Structure 1
Amino acid sequence: MTRIAIASDHAAFDLKQRLAETLRGWGHDVLDLGPADDSRVDYPDFGYRLAEAIADGRAERGVVVCGSGIGISIAVNRHPACRCALVSDPYAAALAREHNDANVIAMGARLIGPDMAEACLQSFLAGEFAGGRHQGRVDKLGAPAFAKEPA
């Protein structure tokens, strides 16, 4: 199965633990990048850790969670190897894979419950990149910022 990295901040520690166990139950190899408990931490540190794991090939996909999902998704997306989508429902998670070739999803522990988070995760992992008309757009995501004029 797929090697999946997972990370959170303190606000989403419990959700991270649950999602890691769910992933293991589905047969995935989980790389838990922390934190180890719910003590206060800064989400950028763990977002960057996960982004590095994707970039250096230690994981194929990633899951990050913080209170809202917003801050940690911004942290992950600062790395050019990552395309992190903030999702709150399974359809958004599927589209993140199909249209954007997202390799990481972010979710907000204070915004969605654990059952919805698992449904999003399942949809994300089942999805495949459609390529075709979406490929050129995804290629632009990896280009230097503002390098191309809008079409």
Structure 2
Amino acid sequence: MTYILGSDHAGLKLGNFVKMYLESKGFEVIDYLPQNDIKVDYPDFAKKVCKEVLNIKNSKGVLICGTGLGMSIAANRYSGIRATLCLDAYMGKMARAHNDANVLCLAERISGIGEVESILEAFIHTDFEGGRHGCRIAKIEDLN
């Protein structure tokens, strides 16, 4: 599994932590993090990550901003992307199990490192359940 990672300036510190964490678990990480904390626009980073997720087989994305809201809104503009803002491990688990999320959005100004670790673990280790949820995902794709 390859994880494509991006953040804006407000998510840079957490982005660096997530990169280290994913690499320590043996995942390949492609990083689109800004080089410093000078203000940048989150839609630019959401675009880079979403295009890579759509182009690289067996990949998922992680997007981080201050609240996670802007990133999730921007990411969900791309057909084929199912981005979810997760603030706890239960949300991370359900994002995968019921929504087959392929982009995880995180909030640096809300979630602490310990919580982010548990969200990542839930997101990484939960498979999509399919079944009735597959029909719902198909309906979402039909909206595009």
TM range (shorter): over 0.9
Bigger CA radius of gyration: 1
Aligned pairs for 1:1-151 (under 5 A) are 2-57=1-56, 60-145=59-144
Give distance in 2, aligned partners of 1:30 and 1:107. Answer: 16
TM-score after normalising by structure 2? 0.96
Structure 1 vs Structure 2 CA RMSD: 1.1
Structure 1: gaps (5+ residues): 146-151
Percent identity reads 36
SS at match of 1:54: helix
How far has the Cα of 1:144 moved from its partner? 2.8
Distance 2:139 2:129 in 1: 16
> How far off its partner does 1:58 sit?
6.3
How many residues are paired up? 144
Quote the Cα distance in structure 2 between the aligned partners of 1:61 and 1:36.
22
Counterpart Cα distance in 1 of 2:63 and 2:84: 10
Which structure 2 residue ranges, 5 or more long, are not aligned? Answer: none
Separation (CA, whole Å) in 2 of partners of 1:94 and 1:126: 8
Q: Distance in 1 between matches of 2:21 and 2:30?
A: 13
| Regions of 4+ moved over 3 Å | none
**In 2, Cα distance between equivalents of 1:118 and 1:50:** 21
Scaled by the length of structure 1, the TM-score of the pair is 0.92
